Amino acid sequence: MNEDISVNFFLEEYRELGQFWRHTDNRNENTIKIYLTASALIISASLLLSSWSDLDNQIFLICLNVAAAILFILGVLLTRRLISTELIKQEYLFAMGLIRKYFVRKDPQIREHIFLPVTESSRDKREYEFPNDLRPFMKFLKIIHGWNSVLIAFMISSVIWIAFSMIELSILCGIAIFGVTLIFLIKNHERECVRERKKHIKRVERLYANN
pLDDT (0 to 100) of residue 135: 55
pLDDT (0 to 100) of residue 124: 47
pLDDT (0 to 100) of residue 173: 92
97 neighbors 15 (Cβ within 8 angstroms): no
- What angle, 0 to 180 degrees and rounded to 10, lies between the N-to-C axes of helices 167-209 and 136-164? 150
Q: What is the mean pLDDT of residues 130-143?
A: 61
User: Tens of pLDDT along 75-128?
Assistant: 888 888 887 777 777 777 777 777 778 777 877 777 766 665 555 544 444 444
User: Tens of pLDDT along 162-197?
Assistant: 888 888 888 999 999 999 999 998 888 778 777 777
Question: Which amino acid is located at 170 in the chain?
Answer: S
Q: Structure pTM?
A: 0.69
pLDDT (0 to 100) of residue 208: 62
In the predicted structure, residue 138 carries a pLDDT above the cut 70? no
Domain boundaries, the chain: 3-209
The percent of residues in the chain predicted with pLDDT above 90, rounded, is 9
Q: Which residue has the higher pLDDT, 33 or 88?
A: 33
The phi, psi pair for 144, rounded to 5°, reads -65, -40
Count other Cβ atoms within 10 Å, centred on residue 44.
Answer: 10
pLDDT (0 to 100) of residue 178: 94
pLDDT (0 to 100) of residue 92: 77
| H or E segment to which residue 2 belongs | none
